Chain A
């Protein structure tokens, strides 16, 4: 498949309005402005577009949940919090293709009858915020955003809202809380944001890549879109490949592509001729797959069948020098640090898991600690307000399932010699 979303990202000034207009930007918006909101939603439904933020929820259906007759204001909140370890696709889209992104925001606002769109961007992406602000001002000037867009009478304002460092702000209700000036902590659902969201009003939360797909559906037609990739897994998809590969980066493919192709063909294979050990296919919150399970389609449904998830398509590749106990410990440090603290199982449990894993990793664990890991993880998953709790389980449970021998080595023999890419002493300090 020829890249569509990332076709021009390597070219100079690809982010500018002039460049984007030369390559067909805002053509989809022109068509969508001639369509009624319900018709727009219908097209998105027929295209088969599924959300790229992690859950793969059908986008058209999500838009359809917004009550049409509600007298309240409606909001579009864009999830540009991109914090799932191993994920950096929205980063590239916002930096190199911001007009495609704004175009998608305006079409989505028209579909759900929202007049205001907030782009919630993670605090660390300040350099992207500046790019977005510059280009947004140009889009306003040219009449693609703001009042009376392209003479249609449509009015959409887009504002950029900067977060301040919190993974949990990527969870949709926590994002809304954060936008309201509070801690990023989740709300009990239902009510769902589509009914009671930002400022108590109907709200749609969509991922950046999801919205970048929307203009394509109108520019080229839903039939074209639905024809890309396997059934129910349609459209172009961005994959973020990182870790032990020769060419880490963002790659665009349709969802019939396999993990093996992404690792060996797109990302150039493992450096130094070393062997693959394990792959995390969809960001740190998805089950790790052992090396013999990579001949599967990297699609929403393909990876579920393989026992994992597409998630945010953050593919983290690990070679044979990697201890999977250390991987679990590294990730649990992340979850322990990022747990928002609202639910006790997650707040306390992540801390316990990190402590047990640290002990085992140092070679000071006992075999019964492995059972304890399972048991604590099992007491977090499914027992929290938001899916963060479920996201904690895969790094522990799937490494224990597929790489129990690593754990047993750490327990019985002690910590194996450290590979050259690891510091030889443990750094002690605050985090």
Chain B
């Protein structure tokens, strides 16, 4: 019996469980990325290189697009820790991709403040326009649509983020379909950035 007599324990996957992706192709950091990683490691005491695991994984993602078993082995070797420790981190944090994703990963905020201002309709329009469901990638490998939790810019709701880095704000169903078309032709230059980057 679970801790509540009327409820059974869930069977779904939880982020606190380790999930190891396929090994994938061989992986090693480029010399430039290795140098960048060593620079980041220097921010921490010499015996605490593990603090740079997240940074190393971002570099993997930058270099290869997503994280594979081989990449995690390599990171563990460079950092000097057990591969299991890297695996723990990869499965826990939502900004790491463990399978190939589209050129543009469109991350739509779905939490309350954005939802109150129409985020559901933004996702709906996006999915209709691209013929995908949330979590899926278009067959041409251009777009992956993902729902995200509060991005911390609720005054500009609904907010979207692209590829973990680029922001665009105050969306509605029409704007977002125009935006993905513009992304296709102009790349991330189509995004306005955050409201505060531009002077108000």
Contact = CB atoms under 8 A, between A and B. Distances in A.
B1 interface: no
B112 A338 contact: no
A163 B54 CA distance: 7
A342 interface: yes
A331 B112 CA distance: 7
Interface in B1-54: 2-4, 6-7, 9-10, 12, 14-17, 43, 45, 48, 50-54
Given A85-B154, A95-B197, A431 B135 contact: yes
A16 to B, nearest CB: 12
B193 A127 contact: yes
Interface in A328-350: 330-331, 333-334, 337-342, 344-345, 347-349
A128 B93 CA distance: 19
Contacts of B148: 124
Interface string B178-200: 00000000000000011011011
Nearest to A344: B3
Nearest to B94: A165
A12 B198 CA distance: 9
A182 B89 contact: yes
Q: What class of interface size applies to chain B in its complex with A?
A: 35 or more
Interface in B144-183: 147-157, 161, 164-167
Contacts of B89: 164, 181-183
Contacts of B165: 126-127
Contacts of B2: 348
A182 B88 contact: yes
Contact of A165 (B6, B9, B93, B117): B93
A264 interface: no
Contacts of A91: 152-153, 196
Nearest to A271: B117
B173 to A, nearest CB: 9
A421 B124 contact: no
A86 B4 contact: no
Interface in A359-384: 372, 375-376, 379
Nearest to A351: B10
Nearest to B18: A183
A127 B110 CA distance: 20
A96 interface: yes
Interface in B58-98: 58, 79, 81, 85, 88-89, 92-96
A322 interface: yes
Contacts of B120: 421-423, 427
B92 A184 contact: yes
A124 B152 contact: yes
Contact of B96 (A164, A341, A348): A164
A10 B200 contact: yes
6 shortest interchain CB distances as A-B pairs: A341-B16, A429-B134, A430-B135, A181-B50, A164-B93, A423-B120
Interface of A: 9-13, 73, 82-88, 90-92, 95-96, 118, 122-128, 131, 159, 161-167, 178-185, 199, 240-244, 248-250, 280, 284, 314, 316, 318, 322, 327, 330-331, 333-334, 337-342, 344-345, 347-349, 351-352, 372, 375-376, 379, 421-425, 427-431
